[in-house]
Chain A
């Protein structure tokens, strides 16, 4: 099955702990993205990457970090510096024609 996998679907962490969200794709897409969605809100771009070993900050990168060591993988770390980390996190991919963006099922992070 081709697609995007995000794990886990639900994640709970204590305040002050770093947490890493997984995103894996087998679509052979070059570009990968992380978005944050708060209840009743739209999408806000955190980071994106168009090629392995390179990534750019989006609109709300503070308190987050990413890596892109493999084309298939784009993990997001939510650090303790992120003041309000509780949210729904979506990973997406596209090829470099940018004709469509594909989304994973999302991870709901709750910080207690």
Chain B
């Protein structure tokens, strides 16, 4: 079945450092890909998405590119801030797969001042 793998962390960075969180996927169809962010005690919020190969999703300085050839959707940010500390989830939506959404295990990011 469909699955999402991402680096589990925790990831600890200093403010203004470069961030990469790796995400790879397995899907039977042509999925849409997502990054969600969860702040402590809250629900998940959509950070960015891409619906087809070579699409780049971007939001709040975060970017990820849909790479079909490597089945990857790595999250990057050039300069992280303390306020970026959260848990980040990679996910896919595959209309050929039962409940349609599959989430990775999440990566906890801590940014130190």
Asked whether B51 lies within 8 Å of A99 as measured between CB atoms, the reply is yes
> Would you call the interface of chain A mostly helix, strand, loop, or mixed?
strand
One of A6, A43, A100, A105 near B46 (C-beta < 8 A): A100
Complex formed: what's the CA distance from A33 to B100 in Å? 11
The residue in chain A whose Cβ has the minimal distance to the Cβ of B44 is A103
Residue with the greatest number of chain B CB neighbours at <10 A, chosen from A48, A90, A101, A102: A101
Asked whether B103 lies within 8 Å of A99 as measured between CB atoms, the reply is no
Complex formed: what's the CA distance from A12 to B101 in Å? 30
- Neighbouring B residues of A106 by C-beta, 8 Å: 41-43
One of A42, A101, A103 near B106 (C-beta < 8 A): A42
One of B51, B95, B98, B101 near A101 (C-beta < 8 A): B101
CB-CB under 8 A for A100 and B99, given A42-B89, A105-B43: no
Interface size, chain A (Cβ < 8 Å)? 25
Asked whether A104 lies within 8 Å of B99 as measured between CB atoms, the reply is no
Q: What 1/0 flags go to A86-110 for Cβ under 8 Å of B?
A: 0000101010001111111110100
Complex formed: what's the CA distance from A41 to B108 in Å? 10
Asked whether A43 lies within 8 Å of B89 as measured between CB atoms, the reply is yes
Complex formed: what's the CA distance from A102 to B98 in Å? 18
The residue in chain B whose Cβ has the minimal distance to the Cβ of A6 is B43
Q: Which of B81-113 contact A (CB under 8 A)?
A: 89, 91, 93, 95, 98-101, 103-106, 108
- Neighbouring A residues of B108 by C-beta, 8 Å: 40
Given A42-B106, A43-B44, A101-B34, 11 further pairs, Cβ under 8 A:
A42-B89, A43-B103, A45-B99, A48-B99, A94-B101, A98-B32, A98-B100, A99-B51, A100-B49, A102-B46, A103-B43
Which chain A residues have a beta carbon within 8 Å of chain B's beta carbons? 4, 6, 31, 33, 40-43, 45, 48, 56, 58, 90, 92, 94, 98-106, 108
